[in-house]
Amino acid sequence: MVNKPSPSGEYAVGTFTHTIRTDRDEVLAPGTKRTVPVRVYYPVLKASVEGMSKIKYMSRDMANALKKSMHAPINYDKSDAAGDNFSDCYENAPKIEGMKFPPIMFNHGLASYREANSFLCLDLASHGYVVISVGHPYDASLTELDDGTKIELYKDTMKKQYEPFLPGAVSVLKLTNSKGTDKELADRMDVIQNKYCKYIMSRVGEWVKDTLCAVDYAKENLSDIIDFSNGIGATGHSLGGATAYMLCLDSSEFVCGANLDGALFGSNKGKILTKPFVQISCKANRNAETRPYVGHTKPVFGVLFNKMQHIGFSDMKHMIPLKMITGGLDADLMHGYVCRLHLELFDTYLKKVKDRPDITGCDMIKIKEYQPDIKEE
């Protein structure tokens, strides 16, 4: 675990976890109820954490789980012995009395983990946001609850991505290599998911429910640090990005969102996006992520990262030095752009301290602004 970027904002970051017990039946473990584990990142004064120890980045069990799900070559013992297994935040650090910050909900990817994009969450918190990262038991490589319970990835998750697997996978591959307008590509994606990906579509629905449970928890318990007056922001990686899109489509509480390279699974065809949105893609997946560009009343930004691979949009970019897995773009450059894209979006539409986002690219990053194609009623 080397080359971890430090939060760039004016605040240090405090953190804590909580396990929400719901009354929903757990679909993947019949006879049990759904749990929703969250990690909260919140701004704190730098002076207040002097002398405090930073929390561990991951447990040995998590490292072993990631080796299985992501083939991540993490040497836990070496990292721990070197003092490198830490996250740049402080458990239960003193809150800033009398100050509240806008909320952002983050969702990880399928077979990933709750802290998979901690570098982004930490940076956002350091700039004055409360970020709640939502875990999804049975859909994560490993879920660690506060009582010590550990929930492994549902055994059939990967093979149920496409049913039947081979024709489904081939159809998606053909889509990613095909040509067409954004609408044509989005409609092809919808045909594919309804034919082969009903399981994944159903998981997006569950993740939306998980996130709304976390919102309810925050309203009931975190009103001392969260300002809900301007609404809520949403973001996520992979299937978590698709979840962020669905939240912006279906919930009036969410005012803007971003998707980190998530294929747009979910019942979204024909729905009108009425919130500003940033769709971030790598070249390989762009064709499965065009739905936000079709039917919207607010600006939508399409961001295409060249030389990037899907898993590289998570913390793994800084941990797996293999270009074929995480992409060839410099990890710090990628991280800086991803953080800036999020801050421009949320500063404009959630904090409302800017008139419009200042989003520009470079040789490796192409950005296009899609103006509203539907008038507001």
Can you list the residues of the chain whose pLDDT is less than 70?
Answer: 1-2, 377
- Per-residue pLDDT at 324: 83
Q: Which amino acid is at 208?
A: V
Q: For residue range 346-377, list pLDDT tens digits in order.
A: 999 999 999 999 988 778 899 999 999 888 86
Q: Which residue has the tokens 């990967």?
A: 158
Q: What is the pTM of this model?
A: 0.97
CB 128 within 8 Å of CB 11: yes
Q: How far is CA 11 from CA 289, 294, 323, in A?
A: 34, 38, 33
- Per-residue pLDDT at 319: 84
Domain ranges of the chain: 12-370
> Which is it for the CA torsion 141, 144, 148, 153, positive or negative?
negative
Q: Which two tokens stand for residue 352?
A: 């409302």
Rounded CA separation 1/319 (Å): 5
- Per-residue pLDDT at 356: 92
- Per-residue pLDDT at 375: 83
- Per-residue pLDDT at 377: 67
- Mean pLDDT, all residues of the chain: 95
> What homologous superfamily does CATH list for 12-370?
Alpha/Beta hydrolase fold, catalytic domain (3.40.50.1820)
- Per-residue pLDDT at 322: 81
Rounded CA separation 366/353 (Å): 25
